[in-house]
Amino acid sequence: MGELIDVPSPEEQKETIQMQLTKSLVNGETWYLIYSKWMSSFKQFIGLEKTGGSLVSNPGPIDNSSLFDEQGELRKALVDKMDYEVVPTECWNLLVQWYGYNNPQPISRKVITIAPKYLTIEVYPVELKCFKNAESKKHTKLVVSKEDSLTKVNNELKRIFNINQNTNTRLLVAVGEGIPYCPDLDNTVAGSGLLHGSTVIIETAEDGGWPRNRQIKTGSNTNTKNSGNNSSSIYFGPSVGASSSTLSFAGGGRSSRTSTMGTNASTLALRQPGVCGLNNLGNTCFMNSVLQCMSNCPPITEYFLSGKHMLELNETNPLGMKGEIARVYGELIQAMWSGNYATANPLPFKIQVGKFNPTFSGCQQHDSQELLTFLLDGLHEDLNRIKKKPYIEVKDQVGRPDCEVAREAWDNYRKRNDSVIVDTFHGLLKSRVVCPECERVSVTFDPFCYLSLPLPLKKDRVLTVRYIPFDGYKRESSFRVSVPRKGIIRDLCQELSTKVGCSSDQLLVAEIAHCHFHKFYCNEDSLDNIDEKDVIFVYQLPVLPLNVDDEEDIIVPVCFWEKVKPIDRFAQNHLFGVPFLAAIPRRPVSSVELNNILKEKMRRHFVFYNDMDAVNGENTAGSIELAFRRVVH
């Protein structure tokens, strides 16, 4: 402590950070996770995000505590842009230099390549449960990268289990409760469909062969049914192709395969076709939800399972994707409905989608409807049975029956657009326009593939607010306040005023960050920026005098600062508690009078047993050095 850092102005920070945030991912580089709420406060402070006219302040030290669970581990299922943001190393170092960091260790992650031209930040490395031989009850956890090869995993397990590197071994892997199978060691962890918690067994050859009658003893059922000849329930052969450059939709967990080790292989119950999960490739839940919905559209799925899409591929359509989208989607559907897999790997599908629409090529969250729109359009153009679209002249529709006009419009549309997507999803939307001058009525029928329908929303929502009375003797209180969903801060103040018994003009809404005032809201600010899980602080202001004169008090924000050492200079990471507002006269005020004013404002928290006059008779400006005991409410 004690050394001041020359921090650039917010305008200079904005110029520097803007360049940092536009950097592209480079394989092997290190990026850092930052809590999204702190990042939003920082962007508002330097002007990268709009504040709606509200007053903002320094965001304070970077605080990632909300990203950790009670055990100090990174919380599961965090979502990019919603829970956290990622910044490159240079940007992280600048932010730490300017603002500091409150947590013990930063959250650093590597950029990896899990497919050709597909870079992602590996927020969650894969944790495997590893066994030495199938009978072993004790397992070892091994954390690996998605881009690591299974050969590397095999060598690491040899080291962990003290197996000679020259010993002949094989890997058996299983996803979830699926049956273990022998993967291609040239493949990667991601390409093999291994997920967090997947089982990996390393077996050593015995007497020139492999152990039989193996069953993974992990404490859960493996759905194996061994036949009388005690043969193993293991599938042999690569699950994802012959090399790491070949991708497959197999996600592991095969249950319909039988062993080739014995004369009579064991027979396993088939999984229900279509009941198949999709691996999350990193913020791809939006894509998986669309694929699961499409998978459960019977006409479309039956079409692809029958293989008709391969007969109707339109690879010459300039509006299509050379048949690639239809082909890769068909392979995914066939894998999901084969009954062979507990999970499928949609990575090949995502790569093709990103190839033709770069918007979806990264690892960010996207809107599901946008992807569905692209997918339906892409499938339609790839499967359009019309190879050469004719020119069609539109006839005048005035005076003709609607049914005749609709039939003609549909026939004309089908002459240029004919696919299984049109058969299933497309229709006509009737539009009726009346000229305000001549009152001529024009009726048209326009094709559509999807309709956006508004969902009914509740008119009100409930926010939790913490009310801080201006009187230092009154306790703070928490209230749940019902406000209009599209309301403003004034609505919040008016509703709260009825609960606390003061005028809404006396209420000031503030956002507290890191024990200091971060933002003061104006009455006209929208409530949209306040989440229902946020706790908003509302401060009562004193009643202003009717006649404003020179003796009017000014409202001053006051924070609690912990002075660790006598030589310490002010630092934001030494702030604690909830700040308050104090009314200070505009006239010159002595240190004793100022300390008395502040002491009165803290009565709700402390009981002082030494008077200010008893503090050695000293007038130490700007400090309160009292003996007190804390009141626990």
- Residue 259's pLDDT is 29
Token pair for 152: 């590397």
What DSSP assignment string belongs to 16-61?
HHHHHHTPPP-TT-EEEEEEHHHHHHHHHHHTSS--TT-EE----S
| First CA to last CA distance, the chain | 33
Q: What is the mean pLDDT of the chain?
A: 78
- Residue pair 134/201 in contact by the 8 Å Cβ criterion: yes
361-380 b/e (C-beta count within 10 Å ≥ 16 → b): bbbbbbeeeebbebbbbbbb
CA distances from 118 to 33, 114, 348, 358 (A): 20, 6, 11, 11
* Half-sphere exposure for 104 (CA within 13 Å, toward CB): 4
For the chain, state the CA radius of gyration.
Answer: 33
Question: Which residues face 84 on adjacent strands?
Answer: 35, 80
| pLDDT on residue 242 | 30
CA atoms within 13 A on the CB side of 402: 11
Q: How far apart are CA 481 and CA 504, in angstroms?
A: 14
> Rounded to an integer, what distance in angstroms lies between the CA atom of residue 524 and that of residue 505?
13
SS3 for 296-312 is CCHHHHHHHHCCHHHHC
Q: Which residues of the chain have pLDDT under 50?
A: 1-2, 212-248, 252-269, 546, 548, 611-633
DSSP-assigned states of every residue in 268-329: -PPPPTT--EE---SS-HHHHHHHHHHHT-HHHHHHHHTTHHHHS--TT-TTS-TTHHHHHH
* Residue 383 backbone dihedrals phi, psi, to 5 degrees: -115, 15
Q: How many CA atoms lie within 13 A of 493 on its CB side?
A: 22
Give φ, ψ of 539 to 5 degrees.
Answer: -105, 135
For residue 216, give both structure tokens. Answer: 């993974």
Q: Which domains does the chain have, with CATH numbers?
A: 10-121 (3.30.2230.10), 126-205 (3.10.20.90), 277-383 (no CATH), 385-453 (no CATH), 460-603 (3.10.20.90)
Q: Give this prediction's pTM.
A: 0.55
